[in-house]
Each structure stands twice: as structure tokens, then as C-alpha cells.
Structure 1
Amino acid sequence: MAPLDDTISLLRDLIAFPTISTDTNLGMIAFLTEQLEAAGARCELFLDHTGTKGNLFATIGPEVDGGIVLSGHTDVVPVADQDWSTDPFEMAIDAGRLYGRGTCDMKGFIAAAVAMAPELAKKVRDRPIHFAFTHDEEVGCLGAQALVEALRHRGIRPGIAIIGEPTEMRIIEGHKGCCEYSTHFTGLEGHGSGPDSGVNAVEYAVRYVGRLLQLKEQLKARVPKGSRFDPPWTTINTGALIGGVAHNVIPGKAQVDWEMRPVQAGDAEFVKADLEAFIADELLPAMRAVSPDAEIVTEVIGEVAGLEPMEESAARDLVTELTGGNSVDVVPFGTEAGLFQQLGMSVVVCGPGSIAQAHKPDEFIDIAQLGQCLDMLDRLGDRLGR
């Protein structure tokens, strides 16, 4: 098995890449490519439309279907305005913990997977092992969406994926989807002394938020029978309402940022259809009665599928065997897992670290958790060698 010290050293290198989602990840991707090629992997880089972000897909073993994917995202959330005790991009070790941005979410898993690559290469036979490292998970799973489409186009069909998000090495077989939107309102500015002469974009945005609140309550009655999620229904959250310039100016622009986390695809369609009808039948006619140029446009920030628990799951069975776990669970937070499932793969989420530490100052991962992840991957190598 790859020594734990080597994995920690590799994680230190990965933390030093400040791969905040607003910035490039190509330095880290190049480093990972170098490491995997040294282990004998065939690596391919997929750039985004800007040329500043990339996905890495690497394979060890034969070019056949049915392989196993180890997947993680390379981007991290910002550290601005967070009170860190140490430099977030210089890994620190204290009391059995490794501190730094991305240690648990989720460079710890990536470090373990890449550190194990030479050992896996020695054991692989007729079933390939793939490494999928993506960009922009934190801002809508943009990289994974592009990578899945590329794999579909090329006819690459792995059988199982393990998404190494921090679960404390628990096996997660399901999570809600995550749909994020910004709805933009264009009204007509005017003097506040004559409110009927303009179209108050903020007021119409408030009415839209009111509709979101109504839908939020209605979704509780649509909870699927036997739902294991907490809460068990589809949720809606209004994250921001932005608009206005002064007390005495009718605001001509407003924006509502909101999200929905569906437990079933039908709920997302229900919400979107209701809002489209509300806009077409009530809001826009009232706005355009004053200003024909008034507009409401909803921008899709990201629509990421949930991971649906399956009665039969090769991924669940495999990881249960590898970890010795005797239970599986579902979680409310989202991952890239549902995208890989849509490609026809059997998928679970299982990785070192706790989601409770993710996105916080002084983010950390327990060294013992990294050891457990290495044990799982070592046993995976034994399975590949059979």
C-alpha cells in the first residue's frame, strides 16, 4: 500500500494550488497528470471554453467497458473574509489533523487516489481503473457536466464510480439534486413621488419571492412515500434579493437568487411550470401595461441531478465489501454523483473527512480518515487483480 506519509506529502502539494473556482485549476491538473503518467496512466485533458479550466480523465488498464472511476473535484471555495489560524494554502499538521483549504473537500481523496495509482497499476488486469478530476464543482458542477458529455460522445462506459466527497468513509447512495437560478427583473425607473409612472422591479421581485414561499409550502405535501432525506421533501431557498439605488427612485432592475433541491424530478418540473405561468399570466401583463419593454428572465446557474438510490447497486455492494460498512445512507448536500449515474453507471459517494468541516475556516481532515481511504483503495486493487 502507498505509505500514508507519501499521501500526506502529495496532499500538501495539492493544497498549495489555490484552485478557487474563480481562478484556473490548470496548474494542479498538470501536476496530477505528471503523477498519473508516472504510474503508467493514459491521460487526457478536456479544457473549458475559456481555456483556463480543465478536466482530467486518466486510465490504467485495458480500453474496455465496465471500469471503475475514482472521481473528485479540484476546485475549492474562497477563503476571503474567513478567519484562518494559518495560511489556508499551506498545509499545517496538528494533533492528528491536516489543515488547509480543500483538505477534506476534496483534495484529501484525490491525494489518496493518486498516491495509490502505482499500486493499482501493478494489480489491474482485465478491468480498467479511471481517474476523473473536474473543475467548477462548487459553482454548479460545470466540469463534471462537460466531462460526462465527453465520455458519452466517445463511447466510454465505465461500470462503477466512487465519488470521494467527505462522508467520513460512510457509504452514501443518494442525495438531492441542486438547481440554482438568478431571476432578473427589468422595469421602468422613475421618481419615487410618482410610483404609478414606473415599473418597480423590486416590488415585482418581492411578489416572485412570495410565490417561491407558497411553492415551498406546497412541496411539503408532495413528499415521496418513504423518503429518507432530511427534510424529506424538495426544498426552496431564497438566497438574495438585489435591487434599487435610492429611497426616492423607482428601481428599474432587480434580481432574485434562489435554489431548489429536488428529491424527485417531477418536483422540479412542478416548480418551474408554476413560476412560468405566474410570470406569463400575472407579473408580465401588469408590468407591460406600463412599460412594453418590461422583462423577467430566469438564468440557469446550474441544474445538477440528484443521486437516486437504487435497489440493486454494484457500486454499493463493492464499496460495502471494501470498507466493511454494514449500512448506507442519504444526504441533503449535492455532489457530481448524479451526473455519472445519468451516464448509466452505478455510483456511490464515499470519501475521507467530514462535510461539517467543508467551506469553513481552518478546514481539516483527520489523518486517520486518510488511512481508512487508503485501506479501501488497497482492497480495490486486490479486487482488480482477481
Structure 2
Amino acid sequence: MSDAATSQPLPLDLTGHVADLTAALMDIESVSGREAAIADAVEAALRALPHLSVLRDGDAIVARTNLGRAERVVLAGHLDTVPLPTSPGSRGTVPSSWDGQTLYGRGATDMKGGVAVQLALAAELSAPQRDVTYVFYDHEEVEASLSGLGRLVEHHRGLLTDASFAILLEPTDGAVEGGCNGTMRFRVTTTGKAAHSARAWMGENAIHAAAPILARLAEHTPQTLSVEGLDYRESLNAVRIHGGIAGNVIPDRCEVEVNFRFAPSRSVEQAEAYVRHLLQGFDVERTDAAAGARPGLDAPAAASFVAAVGAEAKPKYGWTDVARFSELGIPAVNFGPGDPLLAHSDNEHVSRQAVADCLDALRRWLA
């Protein structure tokens, strides 16, 4: 067991300004796979609140009010971040730093501002008008099979499925983003014959054979599909290529990794068929897939939330865990502080006001 997991958790002040709580969470480094310290701190803070029941599974925590309200909603957020930047002079690192009213550091937008809002609400709202399930989970920024939310669904499904609506506090710049695109990855392989590069005519170059794959992807025009009134823009791209073993060897194998972000009106099977048709004639292997989520904004709780926020709903182009709630039959939206375009950047930051505004909007709706 790591020292982080065995040491006393850092105390979190849930009653101060929510932006200061954001900074405190950012100062606990929590790259995916190393969430124990922040999970310890969050668990300790929640167990100190007598109006909540608290359960921990690995480095995921569920806290619930149990007031017998007619409706229950979920507020969810992940505790992990992507790795820290290595660029000299980067401001998206740990610990956090203030520049006036702007907070810099890893996780500022993705998504410790949202987690801070969850914790502040959990402390403040002992008697909300809707029962609330607060979910904090690990391993969001890595492959789906490791997801802490997925593990909670598997181990404690009943703690989630009694909700009628879910809000994932991913950064949306204060907008309501309904549903999300699906995502899938493929490995497209070409083969050839190895030879000394001085006698290239004796071999067959597998990298050259991959050129038509790249050409088809470059010439492809992505579609925009309307789903329940929201327009989801798709994208299909080569994201990685690998081939060759040495500078003087004609490569006999090349692999192109392809990522397809597809509208939630397509099933995984339909999206896969679309890519296979485009890359017909090549060896295509699907390596990963996650369905999208339809907006579901016509659900009563969703409609009341959008009205309370007072902003026009938008589509979510990236994949988020709203899709996991959608699979459970729970309509879900993304709503959180910070510009999503800054997520994972070396310049990641969020304003003090943005975090406070997100807290105020959810407080009005819940209280």
C-alpha cells in the first residue's frame, strides 16, 4: 500500500469559498491510478456530515441524502487527472497557483472545480428539495475498463439506478450540454515484406501500403447529425501510426490507429459498420468502443434544471460518463465550471467567478 493511502488524509474545508476548495483539491496530485490520497480526503470530509450516508469502493465514494423526497438526482465527478505537463514553464501543474482571480494548475477545469462544487453542496444542503446522490470516482482519464464509475455500477448498481436525472460536472463553461458523442478506436494494419533498404526492390513497404488509409481519412467529410434538436458534429481521424524497426530496413508491418467520434443517434454497431465501409479492403480491428448518450432533455428533472440555469442547451462533442447513466436509463447532462477547451492543456485554468456561478446555479435548483 502506498504512503498516500496509509497517511492521514489532508483536511478539506467545505465551508469556505468554493474556489479555495478547488485549489485545495488541485494541490492533492491525483493522476489516474494515484487517486488514493484525494479519495481519502473526500471520504473524510463527507463522513463528517451527519446528513449523508457514505460508501467507498476502492477510490470511488458515494454519499447520499435519504430524506424520502419524491425525486432523486445524481451529481457526479471524477477525482483523477491526466498526467502532469512536462513543458518548461507550464502553469497546468501541481500545486495550483493564483494569478489575480484566475486559478492555474492541473485539474482546474477537468474537473476539480466541479468536484469542489459537489462537495460544497454536500456540506451546505442538509435538506434539499430533491434527494441527492453524490458520486466521486477514479480512473476516468484512462481506458473504460478501469473506470471507477463502471465499477460502482457493477458493485452498487442500486445506489445509482433509483435516480431520475444525473448531472456530470465536467467543464462546460457554465452551459448545459446534453448527451454526448460516442467514441471508438480501430487498428488498421498493412503488411509487406522486410528487406535491406539498400535493396528495397526485394521487399514490400508496409508503410507505403498505408497511404490509401490516410488518404481516405483525409478526404472524408465528417457529418453533423441532429438528435432531439441538438446538432452533434462527428469526426474520424488517424491519431497514431507505427511501423518499421530500423532506419535501414523496409518495414513489413504498419499499424494506423483511427478514432471515430459519432453522434448518439448511431449505435456502436452502426458506427463500426460506417468505418469498415470507408476502409473496405483493409485489415480493420476494433479495439475500443463506448456508445454515446442521447440528450434526454425532455425528462421533467432535466427540463426544470435547464430552465433554472437559464441557458440554451448545447450538444457535447466529446464522450463523457453521461453515457454510462444513459445506459442505466437515467437522462444526464454535462454542466460544470471552466472552459472545456482548456482541459488537459499546459495552460489549464478556471476563474474564481466561474466556480462560484456553477455552485449558485445548482444551489438554486436543489434548495
List per-residue Cα deviations over 1:361-382 (Å, max 9, x = no partner): 2311111112112212322442
Mapping for residues 159-198 of structure 1, pairs under 5 Å? 159-183=164-188, 189-192=194-197
Over 3 Å counting, the alpha-carbon distance change for 1:196 and 1:145 in structure 2 is farther
Look up the SS of the partner of 1:72 in the other structure: strand
Over 3 Å counting, the alpha-carbon distance change for 1:283 and 1:196 in structure 2 is farther
In the TM superposition, what is the alpha-carbon distance from 1:264 to its structure 2 partner? 3.8
Identical-residue share of aligned pairs (%): 25
Equivalent-residue separation in structure 2 for 1:188 and 1:146 (angstroms): 44
Aligned to 2:39: 29
Asked if 1:94 corresponds to 2:99, the answer is: yes
In the TM superposition, what is the alpha-carbon distance from 1:111 to its structure 2 partner? 0.9
Over 3 Å counting, the alpha-carbon distance change for 1:274 and 1:318 in structure 2 is closer
Q: Is residue 234–residue 267 contact of structure 1 (8 Å, CA) maintained in 2?
A: no
Q: Is residue 74–residue 160 contact of structure 2 (8 Å, CA) maintained in 1?
A: no
Asked if 1:38 corresponds to 2:48, the answer is: yes
Mapping for residues 118-197 of structure 1, pairs under 5 Å? 118-120=123-125, 122-124=126-128, 127-141=130-144, 142-143=146-147, 144-152=149-157, 156-183=161-188, 189-192=194-197
Deviates more, 1:349-358 or 1:186-195: 186-195
Equivalent-residue separation in structure 1 for 2:242 and 2:255 (angstroms): 5
Aligned length: 352
List per-residue Cα deviations over 1:194-232 (Å, max 9, x = no partner): 667666443444444445456x34x54x84588743xx5
Mapping for residues 40-79 of structure 1, pairs under 5 Å? 40=50, 41-47=52-58, 54-61=59-66, 66-79=71-84
Over 3 Å counting, the alpha-carbon distance change for 1:135 and 1:210 in structure 2 is farther
Q: Is residue 133–residue 160 contact of structure 2 (8 Å, CA) maintained in 1?
A: no
Aligned to 2:9: none
Equivalent-residue separation in structure 1 for 2:55 and 2:188 (angstroms): 37
Q: Which residue, out of 289, 292, 296, partners 1:306?
A: 292
Equivalent-residue separation in structure 2 for 1:339 and 1:190 (angstroms): 48
Q: Which residue, out of 318, 338, 341, partners 2:323?
A: 338
Q: Is residue 173–residue 316 contact of structure 1 (8 Å, CA) maintained in 2?
A: no
Aligned to 2:350: 365
In the TM superposition, what is the alpha-carbon distance from 1:30 to its structure 2 partner? 1.4
Equivalent-residue separation in structure 2 for 1:45 and 1:3 (angstroms): 19
Over 3 Å counting, the alpha-carbon distance change for 1:310 and 1:117 in structure 2 is closer
Look up the SS of the partner of 1:123 in the other structure: coil
Look up the SS of the partner of 1:101 in the other structure: coil
Equivalent-residue separation in structure 2 for 1:342 and 1:354 (angstroms): 27
Look up the SS of the partner of 2:293 in the other structure: coil
Look up the SS of the partner of 1:162 in the other structure: strand
Over 3 Å counting, the alpha-carbon distance change for 1:211 and 1:65 in structure 2 is farther
CA RMSD in angstroms, aligned pairs only: 3.3
Deviates more, 1:186-195 or 1:372-381: 186-195
Equivalent-residue separation in structure 2 for 1:46 and 1:304 (angstroms): 23
Over 3 Å counting, the alpha-carbon distance change for 1:85 and 1:233 in structure 2 is closer
Look up the SS of the partner of 2:266 in the other structure: helix
Structure of higher RCO (CA pairs closer than 8 Å, 6+ residues apart) = 1
Q: Is residue 161–residue 315 contact of structure 1 (8 Å, CA) maintained in 2?
A: no
In the TM superposition, what is the alpha-carbon distance from 1:261 to its structure 2 partner? 0.8
What amino acid maps onto 2:353 in structure 1? A
Asked if 1:9 corresponds to 2:20, the answer is: yes
Q: Is residue 190–residue 206 contact of structure 2 (8 Å, CA) maintained in 1?
A: yes
Deviates more, 1:351-360 or 1:104-113: 351-360
List per-residue Cα deviations over 1:335-355 (Å, max 9, x = no partner): 211221221112111111111
Equivalent-residue separation in structure 1 for 2:201 and 2:271 (angstroms): 31
Equivalent-residue separation in structure 1 for 2:348 and 2:358 (angstroms): 18
Equivalent-residue separation in structure 2 for 1:205 and 1:80 (angstroms): 32
In the TM superposition, what is the alpha-carbon distance from 1:9 to its structure 2 partner? 3.4
Equivalent-residue separation in structure 2 for 1:354 and 1:241 (angstroms): 30
Q: Which residue, out of 322, 329, 351, partners 2:308?
A: 322
Q: Is residue 315–residue 347 contact of structure 1 (8 Å, CA) maintained in 2?
A: no
Alignment TM-score, normalising by the size of structure 1:
0.78
Over 3 Å counting, the alpha-carbon distance change for 1:197 and 1:66 in structure 2 is farther
Stretches (4+) displaced over 6 A: none
What amino acid maps onto 1:352 in structure 2? P
Over 3 Å counting, the alpha-carbon distance change for 1:266 and 1:213 in structure 2 is farther
In the TM superposition, what is the alpha-carbon distance from 1:239 to its structure 2 partner? 0.9
Q: Is residue 151–residue 157 contact of structure 1 (8 Å, CA) maintained in 2?
A: no
In the TM superposition, what is the alpha-carbon distance from 1:36 to its structure 2 partner? 1.0
Q: Is residue 174–residue 309 contact of structure 1 (8 Å, CA) maintained in 2?
A: yes
Unaligned stretches of 5+ residues in structure 2: 1-12
Deviates more, 1:248-257 or 1:366-375: 248-257
Aligned to 1:106: 111
Q: Is residue 238–residue 259 contact of structure 1 (8 Å, CA) maintained in 2?
A: yes
Alignment TM-score, normalising by the size of structure 2:
0.82
